[in-house]
């Protein structure tokens, strides 16, 4: 890349950083499904947190939320009501007597309380089972070893991919491990869309990730193309992947 290209890239990074960064609880990304949150509800929470942290907007309008999510106002309003009903967020009011104005802001104490309670329960369970210190970590390592160790999925058996509970718990962490960095909110939204909108099995998503690793094309667009191709050919699990691959290659071993 020439110096002009590097300057352009650097200016782009600088512009992006100048626009601010939001701090999102990793526990939310990792455990949102355990809290019975959908991917779209989680993304909405992320946007609410981002509005507060980056733009200083504590009570974004439905129109502002529509602009960043691309979803209809009735759908957003329904999800906000559900989040409030389930105790993840609440609305605090305040009055500015000098300006004679009423302010409202979202309160996230419910979300943090639920996350803290869930994590405390998990830690207590691990301690009772005598696995404190290596329980959740070894679980992720074991899943990663089973899924990304050994031969490529084309010749694999899919062993270690049959536990949806374990897969759900470690899906985001496996992606971050393979990419070697934290996932962006957009990448988290992509994974959530595969799960909640496209209804791809977690097993299939991880097989597609494994395919991209072995192909040396580790980016979300390539993984999405793999999933779309499999979907069009009714590939739904590890056995289907193996059969499809053998058929595509002319009935190899």
Tens of pLDDT along the chain (253 residues) come to: 455 555 665 665 455 556 677 888 888 998 999 899 999 999 999 999 999 998 889 999 999 999 999 989 999 999 999 999 999 999 988 776 676 677 788 999 999 899 888 888 888 877 776 644 444 443 333 443 444 444 444 444 343 434 444 444 567 888 888 888 887 878 888 888 888 888 898 889 999 999 898 888 889 999 999 999 999 988 888 888 888 887 766 544 4
* Dihedral angle computed from the Cα positions of residues 134, 136, 141 and 142, in that order, rounded to the nearest 10 degrees: 100
Task: Tell me the pTM.
Answer: 0.49
End-to-end CA distance of the chain: 42
Is it true that 19-114 and 134-248 share their CATH fold? yes
Distance between CA 12 and CA 139 in Å, rounded?
A: 38
Distance between CA 88 and CA 69 in Å, rounded?
A: 19
Domain ranges, ordered by start, for the chain: 19-114, 134-248
Secondary-structure class of domain 19-114 per CATH: mainly alpha
Classify residue 56 by burial, with Cβ atoms within 10 Å: 0-12, 13-18, 19+: exposed
Q: How many CB atoms lie within 10 A of CB 27?
A: 16
Secondary-structure class of domain 134-248 per CATH: mainly alpha
Q: What is 132-177 written as a DSSP string?
A: TTTHHHHHHHHHHHHHHSSS-TTS---TT---HHHHHHHHHHHHHH
């Amino acid at each position: 890349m020439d110096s002009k290209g590097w300057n352009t890239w650097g200016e782009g990074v600088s512009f992006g950083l100048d626009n601010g960064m939001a701090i999102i609880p990793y526990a939310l990304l990792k455990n949102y499904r355990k809290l019975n949150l959908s991917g779209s509800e989680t993304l909405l929470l992320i946007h609410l947190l981002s509005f507060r942290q980056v733009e200083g907007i504590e009570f974004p309008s439905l129109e502002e939320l529509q602009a960043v999510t691309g979803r209809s106002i009735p759908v957003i309003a329904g999800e906000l009501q559900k989040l409030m009903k389930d105790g993840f967020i609440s609305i605090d009011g305040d009055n500015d007597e000098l300006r004679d104005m009423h302010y409202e802001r979202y309160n996230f104490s419910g979300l943090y309380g639920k996350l803290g309670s869930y994590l405390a329960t998990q830690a207590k369970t691990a301690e009772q089972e005598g696995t404190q210190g290596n329980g959740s970590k070894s679980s992720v390592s074991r899943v990663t070893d089973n899924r990304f160790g050994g031969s490529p999925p084309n010749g694999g058996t899919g062993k270690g991919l049959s536990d949806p509970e374990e897969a759900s718990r470690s899906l985001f962490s496996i992606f971050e491990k393979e990419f070697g960095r934290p996932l962006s909110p957009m990448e988290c939204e992509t994974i959530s869309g595969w799960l909640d909108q496209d209804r791809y099995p977690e097993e299939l998503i991880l097989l597609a990730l494994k395919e991209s690793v072995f192909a040396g094309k580790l980016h979300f667009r390539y993984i999405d193309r793999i999933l779309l191709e499999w979907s069009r050919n009714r590939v739904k699990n590890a056995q289907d992947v193996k059969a499809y691959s053998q058929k595509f290659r002319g009935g190899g071993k």
